[in-house]
């Protein structure tokens, strides 16, 4: 069965996310800038990289390896096209995390923004056990009263995602990662214009 994310055009996704009433593309760009520059790591894996929003914040000699992972091949092609400065350091991997986590390489830092909601905590545990990062930085969405998709002209595009969307609460994610020996080390909330907020949760693997 095809993953519904493979059927959503990047232009529709990004147009929705950057609307003034949504502002998530802009907010996630700033979260990514902070995530990429906070922890010492020579390799980073961005799960659900989409079109590469935020990759422009990677400095020239900052990472030896950058993995962009997504299920949508068109997203990956665009992420590579938009970031020629990363050269051979950027490796785009088409992987369906729900059934192919063992195809992932190792990385010292994993960034997963608005990703766990579409794979679930159990799948995310398997991904991290395979990749074995020292640091994990996630962004989840607190929906508020407006539902998980903000009203917009593009709203209907996301209807097909209802079959894979799973609301994620902070405590559930912290508990799931604690079970595989990651401790919470930082939490940041980023309010959005429509009453929602993004919640960034950072973890470190316990020795």
Give dist(CA 159, CA 173) in Å, integer. Answer: 25
Indicate the pairing of strand 90-94 with strand 65-70: parallel
Our CA angle for 38, 73, 116, nearest 5°, is 45
Q: Is the pLDDT of residue 31 over 70?
A: yes
Mean predicted lDDT score pLDDT of the chain: 94
In the beta sheet, which residues pair with residue 135? 109, 204
- pLDDT at position 152, please? 87
Q: Please, are residues 199 and 141 in contact by the beta-carbon 8 Å criterion?
A: yes
What mean pLDDT do residues 138-145 have? 84
Q: How many CA atoms, within 13 angstroms, populate the side-chain half-sphere of residue 41?
A: 25
Nearest C-alpha neighbor of 108 from the set 69, 64, 139: 64
Q: What is the pLDDT of residues 73-96, one digit of tens each?
A: 999 999 999 999 998 999 999 999
Q: Which residue has the higher pLDDT, 144 or 150?
A: 150
Go through the domains of the chain in sequence order and give each one's CATH number. 4-205 (3.40.50.150)
Q: Is the pLDDT of residue 19 over 90?
A: yes
Nearest C-alpha neighbor of 69 from the set 14, 127, 11, 2: 127
What mean pLDDT do residues 126-153 have? 89
Q: Is the pLDDT of residue 145 over 80?
A: no
Global pTM reads: 0.96
């Amino acid at each position: 069965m095809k993953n519904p994310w493979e059927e959503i055009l990047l232009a529709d996704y990004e147009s929705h996310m950057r609307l003034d009433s949504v502002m998530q593309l802009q907010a996630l760009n700033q979260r990514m800038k902070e995530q990429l520059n906070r922890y010492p790591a020579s390799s980073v894996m961005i799960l659900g990289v989409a079109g590469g929003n935020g990759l422009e914040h990677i400095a020239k000699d900052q990472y030896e390896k950058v993995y962009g992972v997504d299920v949508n091949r068109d997203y990956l092609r665009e992420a590579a096209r938009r970031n020629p400065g990363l050269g051979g350091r950027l490796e785009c991997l088409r992987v369906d995390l729900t059934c192919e986590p063992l195809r992932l390489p190792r990385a010292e830092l994993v960034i997963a923004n608005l990703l766990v909601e579409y794979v679930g905590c159990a799948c995310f545990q398997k991904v991290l056990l395979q990749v074995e990062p020292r640091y994990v930085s996630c962004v989840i969405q607190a929906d508020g009263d407006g539902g998980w998709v903000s009203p917009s002209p593009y709203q209907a595009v996301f209807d097909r995602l209802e079959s894979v969307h799973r609301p994620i609460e902070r405590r559930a994610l912290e508990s799931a990662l604690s079970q595989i020996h990651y401790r919470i080390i930082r939490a940041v909330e980023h309010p959005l214009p429509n009453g929602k907020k993004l919640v960034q949760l950072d973890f470190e693997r316990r020795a």
